[in-house]
Amino acid sequence: MAGAYWNVAPTHYYYVTDGVLCHFVMPQYNLHGNYFLGNTTVEPYTTTPASCSNHSFAFANYFYHGSIGYYSFYAEGEGTFCFLDNTAYDIVKGVGTLDINGAPLANDKGQIGYLKSYWYALAGSTLVLIRCWVLRRSYISCKRFAKHCDEMSEPVRFQDAFVYVQESMRLSAHGANNYQRGILLFLLLDQGLMSDLFLLITQEGLVGRIQCISLGYNLAGLMSMLFEMVESMNWISEKARVLVKRLLFNYETALIGELITAAVMQYYLTTLNRSGLRDTESEAETVSYYVMSLVGHGIIALGCVFVIVCTRSLGAVAFVLWRFGTLQVFFKPCSVDATLGVRYKLIFLNGYIWENGKLFYKVSSLKAFGLLRMVEGDGSEFLVYTKLRWRAIPRNYLYVCGRVLNENVRPCDERPCSGIVTLFDRALGGDIEDIHLNQSRRVSGKNGTSTNFKYLTSDIFIKSTFY
């Protein structure tokens, strides 16, 4: 079914007219159902091997597939059973959902009437509305960005537009707390990941491959959301944070792992279903089918995450070595990255400049991320970004997040933009330590010149003590 081998463990059977009705479970996935097996040979189904032409029996089934929420997926299919290899070749004909899970699902004896799930309808509608609002917010933000570029007679390349659109389509708003991110994480798990895992069973051919890509994409989204939560809690140092982000969350290797996952998914599922997981019925009865399903689905998800992580890491290392010739790029903090923090989703490795052992953002990269330059009346420069909110899309959407000193940027209190906004005409970045050095060396007088304050005060102190 769906191009992969799936194990079933029969528990009860009954003789009926023209065949046998059997109840079965798939213990590692919390899957329960019935199948009917005819007792006379029929023409083999389209997916049945040619060798089974005279050894095929009618086969039909339906089953419930439990999820992490209080609902289950329902599927029914038909095909033929081959006596030679003891395998049923089945194609899903219908799917649905039902509000049942846990012990009621394990003990379900069937229901009469239309099957429906209010839980799935409510949670699914919530996630769809959030995504629709994100699309609307992104569309308005992109229009405003393009308008700014037109006013400044600045062209927008495809690469710039791609990065800006991706950043504007983030699910969480800027300034979100971890409770809000946790709700999004649950919705992605309950509606995104679980739906993909179930639909892997139901989709054939090209649609099945697309479903595998969707699974990888949702897993990548979960990884990004979890890392965003860790970032916001300041549990790791800046060097470790940028290392993980440059290795795993960059534009250069996005979707490569998902495509590889889609290519090998059917073989991976077949290998798992033929492993010792198929003999875990006693364990499922001991700890409950619900808990056992978390183990089974977790193994599938962790395998996909392993492929995505390895692919992204190896791809990032290869790209950085080819582009910069050194792996120090992964470990070197950048003042722009430190200032932005969790305000952006992915790193643009090709947008860096490696110069004298320091990292800088190209002018084009600053534009691609929507980072603008604000100058106040006293000549002070600030870094401005586009703030995305949960609901409102105000016209005053540009906010100051950092102060610019030469080529360095240091964080400052976030506030609405109130000055003249233009594009930067130079690269920004450098070490974080350089920020404090520049601060100590810059004291502006009335004539606008800079004085070496650090060394001047030191000289005065020495002379006063000498005399």
Determine contact, residues 408/335, Cβ cutoff 8 Å: yes
The residue with greater pLDDT, 204 or 156, is 156
Query: Percentage of the chain with pLDDT > 70?
Result: 92
Q: If 0-12 CB within 10 Å is exposed, 13-18 middle and 19+ buried, where does residue 391 land?
A: exposed
- Cα 121 to chain center, whole Å? 23
Q: Same domain for 291 and 339?
A: no
Query: At 311, is the pLDDT very low, low, confident or very high (cuts 50, 70, 90)?
Result: very high
Average pLDDT, the chain: 84
Question: Do 129 and 274 belong together in one domain?
Answer: yes
Q: Would you say residue 461 lies in a domain? A: no
pLDDT higher than threshold 70 for residue 42 = yes
As a residue count, the chain comes to 467
Q: Same structural domain for residues 280 and 382?
A: no
Is 458 inside any structural domain?
no
> What does the alpha-carbon distance between residue 19 and residue 24 come to, in Å, rounded to a whole number?
16
pLDDT tens digit sequence for 47-59: 888 888 888 999 9
Residue 363 belongs to a domain: yes
Task: Tell me: do 263 and 354 sit in the same domain.
Answer: no
Number of structural domains the chain divides into? 3
Q: Taking residues 242-247, report their average pLDDT.
A: 94
Question: Are residues 169 and 107 part of one domain?
Answer: no
| Parent domain of 20 | 9-115
Rg (CA), the chain: 29
Per-residue pLDDT, 433: 64
| CA gap 290, 149 in Å, rounded | 54
The tokens 């404090």 sit on which residue?
Answer: 436
pLDDT digits (tens, 9 = 90+) for 163-222: 999 999 998 989 889 999 999 999 998 888 888 888 887 877 788 888 888 888 889 989
**Residue 445 lies inside a defined structural domain of this protein:** no
Looking at the fold, whether 312 and 175 belong to one and the same domain comes out as: yes
Q: Higher pLDDT residue, 455 or 227?
A: 227
For 354-379, the pLDDT digits (tens) are 998 899 999 999 999 999 999 888 88
Question: Please, which pLDDT band fits residue 328 given cuts at 50, 70 and 90?
Answer: very high
pLDDT at 444 over 70: no
Amino acid in the structure at residue 214: S
Instruction: Say yes or no: 236 and 380 in one domain.
Output: no
What distance separates the 2 farthest-apart alpha carbons in the chain?
A: 115
Q: Report residue 135's pLDDT band, with 50, 70 and 90 as the boundaries.
A: very high
Phi/psi-derived region of residue 41, left when phi > 0, alpha when psi is between -120 and 50, beta in every other case: beta
Q: Hey, what long-range contacts does 89-92 have (CB within 8 A, 24 or more apart)? A: 89/1, 89/44, 89/45, 89/47, 89/48, 89/49, 89/52, 89/59, 90/1, 90/45, 90/47, 90/59, 90/61, 91/1, 91/45, 91/46, 91/47, 91/204, 92/1, 92/2, 92/201, 92/202, 92/203
pLDDT of 434 reads: 53
128 and 93, same domain (yes or no): no
For 433-458, the DSSP string reads HHHHHHHHH--B-TTS-B--HHHHHH
Look at residue 355 and tell me if it is in a domain.
Answer: yes
Per-residue pLDDT tens digits for 10-28: 888 889 888 999 988 888 8
Same domain, 81 and 170: no
Write the pLDDT tens digit of every residue in 70-120: 888 888 889 999 988 888 888 888 888 888 877 777 777 766 777 788 888
Across 243-252, average pLDDT: 93
Quick check: is 314 in a domain? yes
Boundary (domain end) residue, out of 83, 100, 115: 115
Last residue of a domain, one of 67, 94, 115: 115
Stronger pLDDT, 418 or 310, i.e. the higher one: 310
Is residue 106 included in any domain, yes or no? yes
Last residue within a domain, chosen from 293, 325, 357: 325
User: Which residue matches tokens 């809690």?
Assistant: 233
Split at pLDDT 50, 70, 90, the class of 448 is: very low
* 316/353 same-domain check: no
Looking at the fold, whether 308 and 260 belong to one and the same domain comes out as yes
- 379-392 residue pLDDT tens: 889 999 999 998 88
Q: What pLDDT is recorded for position 258?
A: 87
Q: Are 96 and 80 in contact (CB under 8 A)?
A: no
Do 156 and 273 share a domain, yes or no?
Answer: yes
* 147, part of any domain: yes
